[in-house]
Amino acid sequence: MGSNKFIWIASFAISAAFVNSLGILAIFRFSEWAKKTKSYFICFAAGMLISTPLMLALPNALEKSGNAGFLALAGFLFMVFSNKFIRYRTKEEPLAFGVTAVEGIAIHSLVDGVIYVVTFEASVLIGIMTGIGLVVHEFAEGIITYTTLLKGEVQEKSAMFYAFLIAALTTPIGAFVAYPFVNKLGTSSTGLMLGFVSGVLIYVSASHLLPEVRGSEKKHSLAAFLVGVGLAGFIVLTKI
């Protein structure tokens, strides 16, 4: 079972890096198309990532540990304050803006890798649901990382290379580094970590991705969000 779990984790982590790279390539080669479609990827991912912790991950965490709710709150607050710090730091000249912003993206991508490990350690179902949402949102994240570097006055080809290192490669690195440690956790510890991850996912969806649904002028953004919610609900009900 352990080897199968690792294969799932590795597959999703590498897929995330691949999809992120596609986003970088798309904005470099087909900038207008990438800008038009980015919102739909974000909205779909928001639907998956808000549904997964509320319907499955957090209830599962509470079954494993009665204190998982406190860790969920801690995960949510961690993201609140870390994002406030990054926003505070980015009120500087263009290069400082680019460097500081991508620092935040790099940390976020590393955390994504850890999330794959924690969710698959809890159950394959939770891992798959979380993984789908995270992989889909990587396309938009690649676009955002590349354009952020351009705003930081980094040349196009260098921006592509750095975006790949910062946003794409960090996710599998985070997964492979975390796997040996998370794999040794007991049931209660896994529940606590899954609670923390649930808080992180709720924040990412509610404060980072969902505003795209509200603020996007795209005609079918809400529909893309509801498709994400519907797919998550379907997976839970059918227990794929």
Question: What's this model's pTM, rounded to 2 decimal places?
Answer: 0.78
Can you tell me whether residue 118 is helix, strand or coil? helix
pLDDT, one tens digit per residue, over 119-176 is 998 888 899 989 998 898 888 888 888 887 887 777 888 889 988 988 899 999 999 9
pLDDT, one tens digit per residue, over 56-76 is 889 989 999 999 999 999 999
Residue 33 confidence class, pLDDT cut points 50, 70, 90? confident
Residue 3 confidence class, pLDDT cut points 50, 70, 90? low
Residue 90 confidence class, pLDDT cut points 50, 70, 90? low
pLDDT, one tens digit per residue, over 190-228 is 899 999 999 988 988 888 777 766 665 566 778 888 998
Cα distance between residue 78 and residue 101, in whole Å: 17
Tell me the C-alpha to C-alpha distance, in Å, between residue 18 and each of 170, 179, 225.
Answer: 12, 20, 23
Cα distance between residue 167 and residue 165, in whole Å: 6
| Residue of 130, 129, 118, 154 lying closest to 28 (CA atoms) | 154
Cβ pair 103, 185 in contact under 8 A:
no
